[in-house]
Amino acid sequence: MNRHLEAFLEMLAAERGAARNTLAAYRADLEDVTGYAARQAREAPEAMSAETLRRYLSGLTDAGLSPRTAARRLSALRQFHRFLAREGVRTDDPTEALDSPKKPGLLPRPLRESEVTALIEAAFRLPGKKGRLAGAVCELLYCSGLRASELVALPATALREDAPLVVVKGKGGKERLVPISARAREAGLAAREADPKSKAKGHPSRWLFPSHGSSGHLTRQTLNNLLHEAALGAGLDPSRVSPHVLRHSFASHLLGRGADLRSLQVLLGHADIATTQIYTQVLEERLRQLVEAHHPLAQAG
């Protein structure tokens, strides 16, 4: 591998703590584009021109790859060239002349705050311990922005009354601290207490939400079924409700109420701020409404 690429990946690991999967993705993306530059223009990775990179990105679209893939590779290229500039290898940045690929609406439509409230209330109304479990998972997903995989794998010791922050193991095994509201914490503990599997004599489950399945914890299918039933009870279209939609609603509502993208990146566990920037459409809408509501010229006439 080219020594500058190697140094860039080492920097990501050492300075940014990039996970193994993240490093592998950067390596694959950059090796693809540098291989193209070498074949088509005989350019070294540290000497790629804007025109070569533009042709490469256009070729991705012609090959049927998604705009999201092109945007991810452009993001990797930009970071690589910023690194080259910082190290004094290049004095220019060819990626400054490149336009970001237009991405279609990739985000699901978030639930309104009132719809989330109705969903949670309907979840708790489900009969017996199912209601306690459904209410707890809805509360936790919405209050924390957890991924489904992160929620079902929470250990039994995750929720403690004296600990407002929970350690969550996300993608690539990378850990982050996630704040949990008192209400969500109480709901989770109540659901666990009501489940006999959590306190089986001599063999208490190691999971917050145990099950009899091979994994020992709540499955994603069961989680989706609980949300489906809660959505029906709330009068919502079940196709609009999923763990990912609640995670998206969490992010959208926070951003709409004033949170910044960098804080949102930390809360969601995104390794790259570019991933969080898909939420800028929410921010742009909030800023547009702010101007229309408060700028004197916007109200003229």
For 115-133, what is each residue's pLDDT tens digit? 999 999 999 999 999 999 9
d(CA 57, CA 29): 12
Confidence of residue 142 (pLDDT cuts 50, 70, 90): very high
Among 52-61, 183-192, 235-244, whose mean pLDDT is lowest? 52-61
Q: How far apart are CA 301 and CA 298, in angstroms?
A: 9
pLDDT at 103 over 90: no
Catalytic option among 16, 206, 244, 288: 244
Q: Catalytic: 294?
A: no
The DSSP output letter for 217 is B
pLDDT computed for residue 44 by the predictor = 93
Beta bridge partners of 155: 207
**How high is the pLDDT of residue 166?**
86
Q: Whole-prediction pTM value?
A: 0.61
Using DSSP's 3-state secondary structure scheme, residue 209 falls into coil
- Based on the residue annotation, tell me whether 279 is a catalytic residue of this protein: yes
Out of 72, 132, 147, 248, pick the active-site residue.
147
Region of poorest pLDDT, from 84-93, 137-146, 187-196, 228-237: 187-196
Query: Which residue in 36, 56, 142, 279 is the catalytic one?
Result: 279
b/e per residue 56-93 (b: at least 16 CB within 10 A): bbeebeeeeeeeeebbbbbbbbbbbbebbeeeeebeeb
In the residue annotation, 36 being an active-site residue is answered as: no
Burial class (CB in 10 A: 0-12, 13-18, 19+), 231: buried
Is the pLDDT at 62 greater than 80, yes or no?
A: no
CB 124 within 8 A of CB 90: no
Determine how many CB atoms are found less than 10 A away from the CB of residue 33: 21
Which member of 55, 90, 171, 228 is catalytic?
171
pLDDT band of 67, cuts 50, 70, 90:
confident
Query: Has 16 been annotated as catalytic?
Result: no
The rounded distance, in Å, linking the Cα atoms of 297 and 301 is 9
Supply the pLDDT for residue 299: 59
pLDDT at 271: 75
Reply yes or no on whether 253 is catalytic.
no
- Name the H helices within 47-146: 50-62, 67-86, 113-125, 128-144
pLDDT higher at 81 or 68: 81
Using a pLDDT cut of 90, give the percent of the chain over it.
43
Q: Which of 72, 73, 217, 247 is catalytic?
A: 247
Query: What average pLDDT score do residues 38-62 get?
Result: 89
Question: Is 147 an annotated catalytic residue?
Answer: yes
Q: What is the mean pLDDT of residues 249-257?
A: 89
The arithmetic mean of pLDDT across residues 231-257, rounded, is: 92
Structural domains in the chain plus CATH codes: 3-97 (1.10.150.130), 113-287 (1.10.443.10)
- For the chain, percent of residues with pLDDT exceeding 70: 89
**What span, in angstroms and rounded, lies between the C-alpha atoms of 244 and 248?**
6
